[in-house]
Amino acid sequence: MVYVAECPKNSLSAWEQDLGERYSDHAHSTKCLYNLSAVMALVSILCLCLHTESERNPVPQEGDVRLFGGSVFEGRVEIYHEGYWGTVCDDGWGMAEAQVVCRQLHFPGAKSVVIGKNYGKASGPIWLDDLTCKGTENHLFTCAFTSWGTTDCSHKEDVGVICATTGTNMTISDSTHSLDHSISLSDELGQIFDSGNGCDFLILIQSATGNREEDGTPEMVGTTICTHKIILSQFPLFNASEGITSITVPISQSCQPHFTSFIRYIYTRKVDVTFSSAQCLHWMAYTFGVKQLMEDTGRLFSKILPEDPLFNTQVSLYEYAEETGDLVLQENCIQYLAWNYENLTMSPAWTHLSVNLLGSLLTRSDLVVPDEYFLLQTVESWITEKGNTTSLETQLDLLNRIRFPMIPAETLYDLEYNSSLYSTHKNMYREKILEAFQFNVLLFSNLISNPKFNREDDHFQPRFYTTKPWSTVIIPNQTSSHFQYGGHRGYYQTPTKSLSTPVHNSLIFNRNKVNWEASVFKNQYECSNRGMRCDSLPMARLITYNHLTDQSNITFRNRLLLMCQGKYICHVQDFKANVAYVNGTQVLTYPCPDDQYTYRFVVRPEYV
């Protein structure tokens, strides 16, 4: 079942009735080009037929899906099974799986997969894991998966999706047909705004020039826009209430040229955004509570984040996102900083990071660092640089976010002598070092018998470590080999690297090795020579020939990091059935000119 609401045929919503009454009063007192019936027709079309349970309150059926904790078109994926809503693990998720969810919800398709975002507490079961969809299925539960409720995930790995909201309406069955002529409504409302006919609410925009008048007051320049209360009343922050005929909006001079486009968007839901106008439109949307425009312009900032190697832009945008409460923009900025943390620590912006920003970075499992000890050293360096401006309580809070069990045991042994803050926070260091040693020398069965041990605690999970033995790099076009295909001989390049890692970070597995082969396939010749079919190119593969049946409590959540032009990490992708497709339906998180990638393979063992 899919939840679909219809516009009521015999009654108007309270909002529509209110608009109708207000327009009726206005029509009696003024001469307008549009009569009441015409406006009410427009209002009826404006009725947004969104997916909602409140209209019909249907009983969920087996296999239903919903998006929870976000908006109509975004949220955590949940599926209904045996009378309970449960979540879906993000392992192996790609656009094919997202397409199935969004089409089942009667959206035209999917925009993106959301990994690691907090959509609120999930207390139900994790119903699906290791899901594999072709993208053409009508229901999510018809995709391949192990079995209901079989998972090695925690709720921190619940997957989310963002569905596309434009496209052709779908129908529930052959007996139901949706007619949607609203495509012309946007243009018609735009014409009403452009003409100014019947406008009844003035917006005076004022900007300071930086100069002074003769009497010493700031010199101001401004313009006036005439709008319609009936349209602006959707957004209460315009204060377009009864008895109010105008407002004054102070705005920077650089943003003033974009305000008319912003108001026109209120009418049409359309606007052309450039990098120069993005922050202005974002600020206006924040100021007047136009949430969708604020979120969508916030996503555009991902295009410019890689352009500043000094990291001043990324840090200032994060602070701006905090100020405006834009969670999408915050996540965009902090994700880029987490993936490029090592470069951040060497930039001029490093010592100017706020406590909140550094603390947020330290909580992330997708933090890309050489190893956990490197992370501890950078935090100690930041605290030392700040001196007395950082309280002891704040220092402890930051240091407690270091995952001490992930620090190699030999390094832990010397930490008392090598740490610059050990003497200041001796008790905390001793407690964390003891916890780390216990993790390194005890078997998993002994660990879980301790009531204080929580297997889902982030401190016992690795980040993305890039030093040996956990990582290797492949630079394309550096390895040549012979090929023979169809009677022809020649050269092809199949970059391949081998690496050997312990089964787990714990010291007791130090001599128990897993051998891996990392490869990047760039053409079908290479795939055919390995007896493979590559659905998309280039394709990265990370495989092991070891049999790990004796280690059933350990799983590998490996990742592929794409570094653009050797400068910054532009994308992180998990492996699905040991492969990761770089192009195809996968969209890069941050742009990379000319697709000049370096491929970094990261092995990540975890207790389950």
- The predicted model gives 383-405 an average pLDDT of 95
Note the pLDDT tens digit of each residue in 355-392.
999 999 999 999 999 999 999 999 999 999 998 899 99
State residue 452's pLDDT score. Answer: 76
d(CA 261, CA 242): 25
- The predicted model gives 157-170 an average pLDDT of 77
- The predicted model gives 21-48 an average pLDDT of 41
Note the pLDDT tens digit of each residue in 203-220.
999 998 888 888 888 889
d(CA 28, CA 351): 64
CA–chain centroid gap for 166, Å, is: 20
**Residue type for position 109:** G
Q: Which of 43-57, 258-272, 351-365, 496-510 has the lowest mean pLDDT?
A: 43-57
Confidence band for 549, pLDDT divided at 50, 70 and 90: low
Q: Which residue has the higher pLDDT, 201 or 57?
A: 201
Confidence band for 180, pLDDT divided at 50, 70 and 90: low
Is it the case that residue 480 has pLDDT exceeding 70? no
Which residue, among 32, 13, 10, has the nearest Cα to 21 in the 3D structure? Answer: 13
Is it the case that residue 9 has pLDDT exceeding 60? no
d(CA 556, CA 604): 5
- The predicted model gives 478-485 an average pLDDT of 48
**Residue type for position 543:** I
The model carries a pTM of 0.67
Given a contact cutoff of 8 angstroms between Cβ atoms, the answer to whether 112 and 97 are in contact is no
Is it the case that residue 511 has pLDDT exceeding 50? yes
Confidence band for 242, pLDDT divided at 50, 70 and 90: confident
- The predicted model gives 290-305 an average pLDDT of 88
State residue 299's pLDDT score. Answer: 82
State residue 204's pLDDT score. Answer: 96
Confidence band for 449, pLDDT divided at 50, 70 and 90: confident
State residue 489's pLDDT score. Answer: 52
Confidence band for 601, pLDDT divided at 50, 70 and 90: very high
Note the pLDDT tens digit of each residue in 588-597.
889 898 888 8
d(CA 340, CA 571): 11
Confidence band for 121, pLDDT divided at 50, 70 and 90: confident
Confidence band for 256, pLDDT divided at 50, 70 and 90: very high
Q: What is the CA radius of gyration of the chain?
A: 28
One-letter-per-residue 3-state SS of 506-556:
CHHHCCCEEEEEEEEECCHHHHHHCCCCCCCCCEEEEEECCCCCCCCCEEE
* Paired tokens of 568: 């910054």
Between the alpha carbon of residue 565 and those of residues 303, 355, 477, 570, the distances in Å are: 16, 31, 14, 10
CA–chain centroid gap for 47, Å, is: 30
- The predicted model gives 417-429 an average pLDDT of 95
Q: Which residue has the higher pLDDT, 486 or 568?
A: 568
